[in-house]
Structure 1
Amino acid sequence: MGAADSGRPVGEDDGPRLRTLLLTDLAGSTELVEKMGDVAASELFREHDSAVLELQRRWRGRLIDRSDGLLLLFERPIDGLGFALDYVHALRDLGQSRGLQLQARAGLHVGEVLTWNNSDAAIEAGAKPMEVEGLAKPLAARLMQLARPGQILLSAVAEPLAHRAARELGERGEHLLWKSYGRWRFKGMPQAQEIHEVGEVGIAPLRAPASSGKAWRDIPLWRRPAALATEALLLCAFAVGIWYLTKPQPAIAFNERDWVVVGDLRNLTGDARLDESLEQAFRISLEQSRYVNLLSDLKVRETLQRMQRSETTAVDRSLGSEIAQRDGARALLLPTVAEVGGRLRVSVEVVDPRTQTTVYALSADGKGIGSALASIDKVSGQLREQLGEALQSVEKTSVTLPNVATPSLDALKAFAVARKVMLTSRDREQAMGLYRRALQLDPQFALVHADMADVYSSYGEVAKAGEERRLALSIPQRLSAQERARIELLLQQYGAPGPYFRKADEYLALYPDDYRIIGRLGDLQWHHLNDFRLAEASRSRAMKPQAERREVHRYGLAIALLGQERYDEALTHFRGANQGGFTGSGEMHARVYDARGQHAEADKIYFASGEGRNGWKGEAGVVTEIDRGQWAAATEAARTWEQQANAANDTAESLRARAAIASLAVMSVRPDASREVVALRDATRARAKEVDAIYPPASAELRLLAGLLAAYGNDAAMVADALQGVQGNSAVGDYPTVFQLQQAVLAEQERLAGKPQAAAARLRPLAAKDTALVVVHWALMRAERDAGNVEAAKGQTHWLATHRGRVFAENTTTDVLRFFNVAVSAEASRVERTTGSAIR
């Protein structure tokens, strides 16, 4: 046969590459020539070669060899299958025009091959222009030799890849019949191979190949004569040993903690229960690995938005590969579920996102829909091994899906849809209804409680979130090790900081790429420790391409820089977060300009943000008006804020607004100042249990603030009352910022008692640290002044006047000191401009 090779030339000594091989053989070609005669046969073969050339171009194949058959290479299995199917039709048409039955055997396989060009001298001597070698070639040849005339046989590697892409064949692809003929052994090959046929009803044989001395069915041991059992076992052991010795490395250079993107599951069964549920199950199963990192659903949706694509766009081969390259993922996983030969098959393709070619595919079969979860576990385990994870690690960290999630597919479906709702429409009521439905179907579904806790937490409902997390932990056998550790850590975040930080260090040592936890750690280092350097380090650690809500981390990093007066760097990251799509909060971005005294620019930034469209209101408005010396406007904003909080029955916000009102009365030296401080104290006493259930140190911090305000007005009795009110409150010792506040109030008590030296000695070690609160510097300034240490007092005044970034960024647990902080800083600035002495 004389079809020309239209494929592109191959460089000499190309390295091994993964290719699709198709081998065909024209059945009875010798008898055909004898029957037709040389002249008629030659004309037939010319038409045959012309048809092959056209099909080769259509399906992007490369013809390597031709004699009585063909050897072709393709980049993708679906192209090889398309060629084979069209070749069957072409032979049929050629034969019918001559009253002949022309049929070919075909074998299709995917594997690594080595290709090189022969020299011109070798070609002149009769050699082929190109050579193809590799273990994949003999297996494709065995398949072709086993096939019946007119039959297309596929290997277990090629079949799922071609099956998944069958839609590319158009309407014809929907009518193909896919059959499995089980495992076969070939002479000279140590391992059994699973064989499949693909064909069109009425054209293809669609029946099992016939056994021969070169190929036979792999019959189970229990069906063999007893005398062969020992021999088979020895052969199996030998084959396994050879496999382990010659086990190839992954075709993708995958390293520990590399990332993968999971594409949308392709459900070919028609059973809607499997649509979202199996994709979620695959994620849950694979997430148990500490070796493989999965790009989260939320991160994938964020990347789609950046690509200006709808969040609901299906993540297929092309789109998934682009997402992987954008976010630094090493591989794309494309899962499929299909019914093959009466069995449910779960398979996954591992795709190289750079070339969009399938590196390898894995699959597992089971009986009926009930086998799906077990098959996912099996495929997940195989995948982890294939990517390089040690078998012992897979076995150690894996919990079967029915145990780590749920045995109920209906419950899993409700759970998966709820997650999707929260990702897309964020319809809280719909999502919570679906979560509750999942619990009705499986009351032991612990992950549902964990998800509900995350929803409550995102809406600030701390008590409800804690309750759901405790419910999840009450079913520990239904949680993976990582999920259990994560829930324990999240539950502990509202307790004493010391144990939380130790627990966080332990967790991140095991799971260093959990950027949600890293971001939360940065938050608590900011709130509980007042440590902006630590917060910067944590936020920087979360600034990875794979991190979900990356621009939120960037915004947090900018706040940490603001707190260190690194204004230019802070602006760079605030702008970057804004450009990256984080536009909801603009206050801290604006505070960079307020810290520099550029209030018009601050207004411009804030009013352009989501929360600032109505101007400076509520808490942000109070802080702004205090800083600009507009006390009446600040008081009006605080009272409006309190009214809104009371109307919403928000205890925490109501008390914070009350703290702002009392601070304003004291700092502006109003006649009702003492009354407002008493009102703050009484409101705190009345609602202490309620507010401490949300934030354990809240009442202690509010009572100490009342004492601080009393000290500003030199009310020694009220200072003593505040200190008495926090005696025995464990929050004072447990929370570093609350402890610092207590020390400042104690120092003020000592100063008012005529012991300024003792007050200064108490505060100097605290003030020497970068983590010192603004109120520590303020109280030390007053103690040094009263002790006659004029230069030391001026030094603290200078600190208050020049650390404007810290004044705006400092945010303790209940964030009630910021009104006092901005007032004393503004006063220090005025004093430095006028007299250079310490403020009162």
Structure 2
Amino acid sequence: MNAVERVARDNAPAERGGPQLRTLLLTDLVDSTALVERLGDTAAAELFRAHDRLVLGLQQHWRGRLIDRSDGMLLLFERPIDGLGFALDYTRGLLELGAPHNVELKARAGLHVGEVLTWRNSDDAVRVGAKPVEVEGLAKPMAGRLMTTALPGQILISAVAEPLAHRAARELGERGQHLLWKSHGRWRFKGVPEAQQIFEVGEPGVAPLRTPPNTNKAWRDIPLWRRPAALATEVALLAVIALGGWFIARPQPAIAFNERDWVVLADLRNLTDQPLLDDSLEQAFRISLEQSRHVNVLSDLKTRDTLARMQRAPGTELDRAIASEIAIRDGARAVILPTVAEVGGRVRVSAEVIDPNSQTTVYAEYADGKGAVSALASIDEVTAALREKLGEALAAVEQDSAPLPQVSTENLDALRAYALGQKAYGQAQMDKALRFYQRATQLDPQFALAWLGQMRVQFSEQNAPAAVPALRQAQALREHLAPREAMYLDAWAAEFDAPSKALGKWQELASLYPDYWPALGNTANALAWQSKFEDALPFALRSTALQNELSAISHDLVGRIHLGMEQYSLAAEAFDQALRMQFFSSARRRAGVEAAQRHFVPAQRMMSEINQDRYAYLERISMAIDQARWSEARSASQAALRETDAEDSFFARALLMPAATADWLSGNESRAKDSARAAAAGALSFLAADYDADAIDDAGLALSAALFSQRLGDSSLTQEVLAKLGEHDEVMEFPSLVELAAVVRAERARIAGHPAEALKILEPLVTGHERYQTRVALLEAYAATGQLSSVLEQVRWLQQHRGLAYIEQGCGQCLQALNVADSNLATLRAAEILAANGRTRDALRELKSFDRFWPVETLPTYLRVRRSAVIAASN
């Protein structure tokens, strides 16, 4: 390479040619020099090393690129929310770093979005002290002016970055709902020709929330009429003008409403003499507003839940004051107060948009019609006008909206029955809700939403055969649903008819309606089922928002995801939050977090406090096996089977697998085989029925039973299961079943003496999302082909993924007990294979670890024999 080429290379853009739109964050550590003088060189050096570790961790978490640093830092981010997340965590992290040294560490921060140009310096320049990457552009001094203007501990953000960060604040989880946003008005910056609006954002108790002082480089842009010299003259004049102007034209208030902000729908004020309109028109308002992708409506269930937390009676009217208090508690930006009245012989439908902080009316719209039947068209007219005033584009209002009579019903009696069904459903009165939904479809058989309601109730009650006819009726009337509900219906239809396609449907719905909790929760669940935990986490976190009436369940889902990723402290935190919100199913999973880390004392204490969760049998059996308490594992499994003996539920079938695992490890191989065969037979029997609501789980249970039986030397079940499942093509397209079936076939090949063929099947399954038993099968296939390093790699993986062993989804966690057992047996297997390869010292070290997990005196005979063989081979 000649000199010209080298210069061209060294000065090429760092990423791609031309300016790039980036988020810039500039920070400055306040009084860093004085800090060294106060602490001394040694203590200050230790503090700055801790500071560097903090910055590195935050860089990795928020995907920031550090460009320059001294007392301050310049970082680039792809998105404003990432830069804001870094700044918030950095501000709080500094306070925590300074506390042990009795100093208050604070930084100034400025956040801006703009075009920058980046290029790499030459290697020679870097060697003599230049930065590896240079960043230039007008955005850089703008961020610098914001930073220098900020007070200590203050994060100032430009008008360009503020709306982008504000809209995405939900991605920060619950704390994003509590951030404080404050405008500090228009400012002039030296060297910047135009005045700039600046904002402050921060956490309560941390952010200063004070207007910065003027400096010679930054000063507030105060209009002439507000300057002191003019104020005296203006006061008298303004008093006269204001008095007259008040009577001429009252100023219209405003509300800072952003896209996807929340509103509370207050109870309808019915000023007519027609009680029929009470529930029906209130529900119509909700249906009409929920068609918006700009305005989010707090669910009736959530508002009633908040009402209960306010210690108000269940039937308390949601008037202006009560609805405003709910809005403040739940982070809603506005209240909508609907009214219906008779004015001049006509029916007037009106709605006010209310600022919950002041309870003043910000906007009001109305529409008149003739007779009660006109009310639905009037509601459409009123809500469309309100949506526009709240910032929604007219084109979006027209595109995302269908007339109420089309997407609900023209029959007000049917609409009232549906509204009462919705209230009953929100109160978990499923029988009552079902009756109202059925009454609605009797009054109007074309009422698609009421059919959808029936399906939802039946499915909630685990009565899938009854849910299918309602689903089919709703599908036949799909054109009578609003776009969101139509997509919701499509996703549920896929769950029933094409499970492998359901995830795509839920993801599509979540992308178009990013605050629609059913879409977020079902997307996260489906991804977690496939062990795609990193992909699932953002959806699950978004569904923990304050406005979600089922946020407790979402916190539990977040905990399960973190447990599957072996992020134990985060999993514990999420489960604890779910428990605080009284989602008690999290208790057994919280105990699983401790057990996965072998903290059995607290795990057992937690399990002892669980009384009425029968699903806790899964953890009781697994934890007993994990501690080599075989009789306890058998007792728990037999108690579970006795409790479900009279049921034909899937859970009763699934319990046969942990029971079989407990029997096998206790030395009763015959009974273990019988239980596995019974599990497979039950699963296949239900799959052969006209409709099996648990088809995915039953197929997984049958495959799990075949895999377990192979380990016990019974391969006859394998062919039967694979043949029967071959009759269910749609079910067997589900990704986790494709993988599990491949593992069963691979094990069959290995047992038949074809380990290379087994590896060809298994190795493509290792995607980072593979199932626990895939790795177990890989271990044995590598052992059979003499690939020692690959064997040990699988052993370490199994030892390190105990969180996954405890939480892996599929077949009702029927493989949990076997997974947990394999996390310990992998250590014994490592000892056996190392001894067979002459690495006796390593073999004995592995055996010593195994003895800590399962002491020799607890081992059944066949495991003692295997252990003794390792010792014999190592002597």
TM-score, normalising length: structure 2: 0.65
Cα 1:136/1:490, change in 2 over 3 Å: farther
Corresponding residue SS for 2:681: helix
Aligned partner of 1:403 in structure 2 is 406
1:536-568 deviations in Å (ceiling 9; x for gaps): 222123232322311211111111001111111
1:730-776 deviations in Å (ceiling 9; x for gaps): 25751221122122222221221222233234323324x32111111
Alignment of 1:272-311 (within 5 A): 272-311=275-314
Corresponding residue SS for 1:336: strand
Distance 1:115 1:379 in 2: 39
Distance 2:242 2:786 in 1: 93
Distance 1:617 1:561 in 2: 19
Paired amino acid for 2:375: A
Q: Aligned residue pairs: how many?
A: 612
Alignment of 1:52-451 (within 5 A): 129-132=239-242, 137-138=247-248, 251-424=254-427, 426-451=428-453
Distance 1:435 1:121 in 2: 68
Paired amino acid for 1:404: V
Distance 1:711 1:598 in 2: 32
Distance 1:337 1:115 in 2: 44
Aligned partner of 1:598 in structure 2 is 599
Corresponding residue SS for 2:354: strand
Q: 2:793 aligns with which of 785, 795, 798?
A: 795
The answer to whether the 8 Å contact 1:801/1:832 transfers is no
Aligned partner of 2:570 in structure 1 is 569
Paired amino acid for 1:398: S
Distance 2:770 2:309 in 1: 40
Q: How far does residue 495 in structure 1 lie from its aligned partner after superposition? A: 4.6
Cα 1:793/1:429, change in 2 over 3 Å: same
Cα 1:635/1:362, change in 2 over 3 Å: same
Aligned partner of 2:25 in structure 1 is none
Identity across the alignment (%): 35
Aligned partner of 1:619 in structure 2 is 618
Distance 1:641 1:791 in 2: 41
Corresponding residue SS for 2:242: strand
2:846 is the alignment partner of 1:836: yes
Cα 1:606/1:318, change in 2 over 3 Å: farther
Aligned partner of 1:586 in structure 2 is 587
The answer to whether the 8 Å contact 2:421/2:434 transfers is yes
Cα 1:362/1:682, change in 2 over 3 Å: closer
Q: How far does residue 280 in structure 1 lie from its aligned partner after superposition? A: 0.7
Q: How far does residue 605 in structure 1 lie from its aligned partner after superposition? A: 2.8
Corresponding residue SS for 2:368: strand
Corresponding residue SS for 1:349: strand
The answer to whether the 8 Å contact 2:654/2:679 transfers is no
Alignment of 1:650-669 (within 5 A): 650=649, 652-669=650-667
Structure 1 segments unaligned to the other structure (5+ residues): 1-113, 141-156, 158-247
Q: How far does residue 715 in structure 1 lie from its aligned partner after superposition? A: 2.9
Structure 2 segments unaligned to the other structure (5+ residues): 1-224, 832-843, 851-862, 867-875
Distance 1:408 1:692 in 2: 34
Cα 1:667/1:134, change in 2 over 3 Å: farther
Q: How far does residue 435 in structure 1 lie from its aligned partner after superposition? A: 1.7
Cα 1:674/1:463, change in 2 over 3 Å: same
Cα 1:749/1:332, change in 2 over 3 Å: same
Cα 1:766/1:835, change in 2 over 3 Å: farther
Corresponding residue SS for 2:644: helix
Corresponding residue SS for 1:362: strand
Paired amino acid for 1:490: W
Paired amino acid for 2:372: I
Q: How far does residue 414 in structure 1 lie from its aligned partner after superposition? A: 1.5
The answer to whether the 8 Å contact 2:520/2:542 transfers is yes
Q: 1:475 aligns with which of 477, 488, 491?
A: 477
Distance 1:696 1:583 in 2: 27
Q: How far does residue 729 in structure 1 lie from its aligned partner after superposition? A: 3.9
Distance 1:667 1:622 in 2: 12
Aligned partner of 2:668 in structure 1 is 670
The answer to whether the 8 Å contact 2:528/2:536 transfers is yes
2:528 is the alignment partner of 1:533: no
Aligned partner of 2:693 in structure 1 is 694
Q: How far does residue 680 in structure 1 lie from its aligned partner after superposition? A: 3.3
Paired amino acid for 1:442: D
Q: How far does residue 610 in structure 1 lie from its aligned partner after superposition? A: 6.7
Paired amino acid for 2:303: V
Q: How far does residue 814 in structure 1 lie from its aligned partner after superposition? A: 4.3
Paired amino acid for 1:703: A
Aligned partner of 1:506 in structure 2 is 508
1:678-721 deviations in Å (ceiling 9; x for gaps): 33343334333239621333443233223212221233444444
1:135-154 deviations in Å (ceiling 9; x for gaps): 763368xxxxxxxxxxxxxx
Larger radius of gyration: 1
Corresponding residue SS for 1:513: coil
Aligned partner of 1:714 in structure 2 is 713
Paired amino acid for 1:287: E
Q: How far does residue 607 in structure 1 lie from its aligned partner after superposition? A: 4.2
2:563 is the alignment partner of 1:556: no
Aligned partner of 2:808 in structure 1 is 810
The answer to whether the 8 Å contact 2:351/2:365 transfers is yes
Cα 1:677/1:422, change in 2 over 3 Å: closer
Paired amino acid for 1:447: L
Distance 1:331 1:115 in 2: 31
Aligned partner of 2:66 in structure 1 is none
Distance 1:255 1:516 in 2: 23
Which segment is superposed worse, 534-543 or 480-489? 534-543
Paired amino acid for 2:504: R
The answer to whether the 8 Å contact 1:518/1:538 transfers is yes
TM-score, normalising length: structure 1: 0.67
The answer to whether the 8 Å contact 1:337/1:345 transfers is yes
Q: How far does residue 526 in structure 1 lie from its aligned partner after superposition? A: 1.4
Distance 1:594 1:522 in 2: 24
The answer to whether the 8 Å contact 2:269/2:339 transfers is yes
Distance 2:262 2:432 in 1: 32
Corresponding residue SS for 1:690: coil
Aligned partner of 2:647 in structure 1 is 648
Q: Please tell me the root mean square deviation across aligned C-alpha atoms, in Å.
A: 3.1
The answer to whether the 8 Å contact 1:418/1:432 transfers is yes
The answer to whether the 8 Å contact 2:424/2:432 transfers is yes
1:435-475 deviations in Å (ceiling 9; x for gaps): 22222222221111111222222222233333322211211
Distance 1:531 1:400 in 2: 40
Paired amino acid for 1:548: E
Q: How far does residue 809 in structure 1 lie from its aligned partner after superposition? A: 0.9
Corresponding residue SS for 1:374: helix
The answer to whether the 8 Å contact 1:116/1:131 transfers is no
Paired amino acid for 2:377: A
Aligned partner of 1:149 in structure 2 is none
Q: How far does residue 675 in structure 1 lie from its aligned partner after superposition? A: 3.4
Distance 2:400 2:611 in 1: 44
The answer to whether the 8 Å contact 1:115/1:131 transfers is no
Paired amino acid for 2:775: H
The answer to whether the 8 Å contact 2:328/2:356 transfers is yes
Cα 1:724/1:138, change in 2 over 3 Å: closer
Q: How far does residue 115 in structure 1 lie from its aligned partner after superposition? A: 13
Paired amino acid for 2:846: G
The answer to whether the 8 Å contact 2:695/2:731 transfers is no
Aligned partner of 1:42 in structure 2 is none
Distance 1:580 1:135 in 2: 52
Distance 1:377 1:722 in 2: 55
